[in-house]
Amino acid sequence: MTTAVSRVGDDGMVASPARRVGKLHREGLAAYLFLSPALLFFCVFLILPFIFAIVLAFSDWGGFDLSTLKWAGFSNFGDVLSFDGTFVKPILVNTLLFAFGSVFLATFGSVLVAYCIDRLSFQGFWRVLYFLPVVATVVAIGNVWKMMYQPAGLINAVLNKLGVNSVGFLSDSSYALPAVTVVHAWASIGGAVLILTAGLKAIPEMYYEAAEVDGANSWHTFWSITLPLLRPAVLFVLITQFIGGLQSFALIIVMTGDGGPVNATNVAAFEMYQRAFKFGAWGTASAMAMVLFVIILAITLLQLWIARRRGEETS
Amino acid sequence: MKRRGRFPWFAYLVVILGGVAMVMPFLDMVMSSFKGPGEYGVIPYKLLPSSFNLDNYREAFSQLELLRLFRNSVIVTVSVTISVLVTSSMAGYALAKLRFRGRAVIFRFILATMMLPPFLLLIPTFLIMLNWPLAGGNDILGRGGDGGLTTSLVALILPFAVSGFGIFLMRQFMVSLPDEMLEAAKIDGANQWQTWRLIVLPQTKPVAITLGLITFIGTWNEYIWTLLISSSDPSLQTLPVGIQLLQSFLDPDRTMPIVMAGLVISTLPVLVVFLLFQKYYVRGVVLSGLK
C-alpha cells in the first residue's frame, strides 16, 4: 500500500523521463554502494568457500599446497559411504538418532511447557527461566552436565536416593548417546517455547470461549483446539531444531572429547572436523560434509515446500 | 482470560518441575565453584559447599589467565557486533528503500545465504584464511607464509562480520518505515548517505538492539571456529575455548571447581546483558521463527 502511494508521489515530482532515468541510475549506484560490504563478504566467505567445498569433495588432497590437488571423481564418496567404514554406521546413524531424539524430547517438552506457561501468571519470568540454557555457552552446559553425570554427580545421587544403582552415563557406550541427546534437548527447549508462545498467543480467544460453552474440559480443548491451530509453529520448531541437531557437535566435543566411548557419541559433523583438522584429509572430510549438507538441504526444501503450501491454503 | 480456566494446578506442577530441571545445572555450577580441595567429586554428593570463599575465583584468574581470555572475548564480540549492525543496516536500507536493477535477485540471494549450514564452509574458510594473500608472510598469491590471517584476532572477526539474517531482519523492519519521511529528507537536500545516517538509522533502534543482542550472545559463546583457529595459537583463545582447553593445566585435585568458577565468570556478562534486554531478544527469536 505505502509503496503504491509513494510511487505516485515520485512520479509527480519527476519533471521529465530523462531526469527520472538519471535519478534511478543514481539511486542504483547508491544502492550498490550500500550493499557493497555485504556482497563483497558473501563473495569471499560464502560463494568462494561453497565452490571450494564442492571441489574438495571431489578431489584427493592432503597438506596445504594447492598444486598437489588431484581430481578424484566420486572416490571420496565411495570411501565415505561404503558399509564397511564407520561413517554410515555408527556415525551417520548416531547423527540421526541424536537429532531425532533431541527434537522429539525438545518439541514434546516445549509444547507442554509453552501450553502450561500460557495458563499461568508471571509468564515472562517463566519464559526467561527456560531460556537460560540458550544464553549460556556450550562449554558451561557441557561441563556442568558432564559433572552431573559422574558417579559422584547430582544425577547419580538422585538415582541412588531412589534405590537405583549408579549409571556410568558417559562411560557406558549404551548410555552415552542418549545422555548427550538429553542435554541437547534440555538446552533447546527455551527457544522453542518462545516460538510456540507466539503461536499460542495468535489463537483467538473466542475458540476457547466456544469450547467452554460446549462444556469441553482442558484436555479436550488442548487436543481439538490448541494443538491443531498450533501445528504450523510446531512444524517450524520440529524442522529447524532437526536441522540444528544434525549439524551440532560442540556439545559432544565438550562432553566426550573424541566422540567416545569408541564412536558411541561420534556424529557426522564432528567426524568431518576430526578428519579434516586432525588428519588433514580434506577430500574425505569434505565428502562427509557434502553428504550431510545434502540431507539438510532436502529437509530445508521440504520445509519451504510445506510453508508455501500452507500459504496457498490460507490465501 | 478463558484460556486459563480454573486453578491450573497441573500447569503449575509441570512448569515448576521443568523449571527446577532448567535451574539445577546452573545452581550446581555455582555451588561447585565454591567447593574446596577434597570436597568435589566425593560420595555422598552434597550440593552445598562447606564455605563460600572466593579461593577458586582467585585461582581461576591466575591459573586460567582469565583477563587475557576476557580481553580477547570482548574485542572479538564488540567488533563482530558493530560490524554486523553497520553492514546489516546499510544493506537492509538498500533492499528496503532504494529502487535498482537486481534488487529482487539480491534479496533472494540473502535469503539463500541463511540456508548454507556453517559446518559446510568450515574447511574451505579455514584454508582461505590460511592462504590469504599478503597476510602473515604470504605472497600476493597467498603462498609461503606461516598461518596467513589465522594468526591474529582478525581470524575470529572477519568470517562473522556480515550476517544474512541481520540484513533480512533490518530489511523487514525498514520496509515499514514511511516513505514520506525519506522524501522529505531528499527535498531538504540530503543525499542517500545522509538519509541513511540521519533519518533511517535513528528509527531502527529497537531492531538494532535485537540484532545486536543476538549477535553479541552468539559471538561471545562461539566455540567451534575459535577452537580451530586458536589450536595453533593459544594467544587467540576466547573465554569458552580457553577455559575448556586449560583444564589439563590445572591442579587436578581442584580442577573442576576452578573451571566452574571460570565458567560462572564467563557466563555472567551474557546473562546480565540478556536479562537487561530480554524483551528485545525474545522478540528477535520470535521474528526469526516467522521468517
Q: Domain-by-domain residue ranges, chain A?
A: 87-314
CA distance linking residue A276 with residue A269, whole number of Å: 11
Structural domains of chain B, with CATH: 66-289 (1.10.3720.10)
Residues of chain A with pLDDT under 70: 1-24, 311-315
CA distance linking residue A179 with residue A187, whole number of Å: 13
Phi-psi region of A302 (alpha: psi -120 to 50; beta: other; left: phi over 0): alpha
- From the list A124, A153, A293, the residue facing B45 with the nearest CB is A153
- DSSP per position, A19-76: HHHHHHHHHHHHHHHHHHHHHHHHIIIIIHHHHHHHHHHTEE--SS-GGG-EE-TTHH
> Quick one: closest CA in B to A52, which residue?
B124
**Long-range Cβ contacts of A14-23 (<8 Å, 24+ apart):** none
CA distance linking residue A311 with residue A309, whole number of Å: 5
Cell numbers describing residue A4? 503504491
Residue B78 CB burial class (10 angstroms; 0-12, 13-18, ≥19): middle
Q: Which residue has the higher pLDDT, B124 or A4?
A: B124
CA distance linking residue B148 with residue B134, whole number of Å: 8
Q: Which residues of A touch B165 (CB under 8 A)?
A: none
**Long-range Cβ contacts of A4-13 (<8 Å, 24+ apart):** A5/B179, A6/B179, A6/B180, A6/B183, A9/B179, A9/B180, A9/B183, A10/B183, A13/B183
- From the list A194, A282, A296, the residue facing B117 with the nearest CB is A296
The residues that bridge with A70 in the sheet, in sequence order, are A60
Cell numbers describing residue A315? 490465501
B90–A34: do the CB atoms touch at under 8 Å? yes
Cβ(B91)–Cβ(A38) below 8 Å: yes
Q: Which residue has the higher pLDDT, B166 or B151?
A: B166
CA distance linking residue A201 with residue B282, whole number of Å: 14
A37–B87: do the CB atoms touch at under 8 Å? yes
* Gap between the terminal Cα atoms of chain A: 18
Residue B12 identity (one-letter amino acid): Y
Out of A284-288, B41-45, B153-157, B284-288, least confident range: B284-288
Q: Is the ipTM of this complex over 0.95?
A: no
Q: Which residues of A touch B217 (CB under 8 A)?
A: 135
- The reply to whether B240 touches chain A by the CB within 8 Å rule is yes
Q: Which residues of A touch B266 (CB under 8 A)?
A: 137, 139-140
Q: What confidence score (pLDDT) does residue B36 get? A: 84
Percent of chain B with pLDDT over 70: 91
> Quick one: closest CA in A to B40, which residue?
A152
* Gap between the terminal Cα atoms of chain B: 29
Handedness of CA B185, B187, B190, B192 (dihedral sign): positive
Q: What confidence score (pLDDT) does residue A226 get? A: 87
Q: Is the pLDDT of residue B79 over 50?
A: yes
**Angstroms from B211 CA to nearest CA on chain A:** 15
Q: Which residues of A touch B100 (CB under 8 A)?
A: 24, 27-28, 31-32
Q: Which residues of B touch A147 (CB under 8 A)?
A: 28, 32, 256, 260
Out of A240-249, A286-295, B179-188, B223-232, least confident range: B179-188
> Quick one: closest CA in B to A290, which residue?
B120
SS3 content of chain A, % helix, strand, coil (to 5): 75, 0, 20
CA distance linking residue A190 with residue B249, whole number of Å: 34
> Quick one: closest CA in A to B121, which residue?
A49
Cβ(B230)–Cβ(B223) below 8 Å: no
Q: Is the pLDDT of residue B86 over 90?
A: yes
Residue B182 CB burial class (10 angstroms; 0-12, 13-18, ≥19): buried
Q: For residue range A243-294, what is the model confidence (pLDDT) as tens digits?
A: 999 999 999 999 998 887 888 999 999 999 999 998 888 989 999 999 999 9
Q: Which residues of A touch B22 (CB under 8 A)?
A: 129-130, 132-133, 186, 189-190
**DSSP E strands: which ranges in chain A?**
59-60, 70-71
Instruction: Write down the CATH number for the domain with range A87-314.
Output: 1.10.3720.10
The residues that bridge with A71 in the sheet, in sequence order, are A59
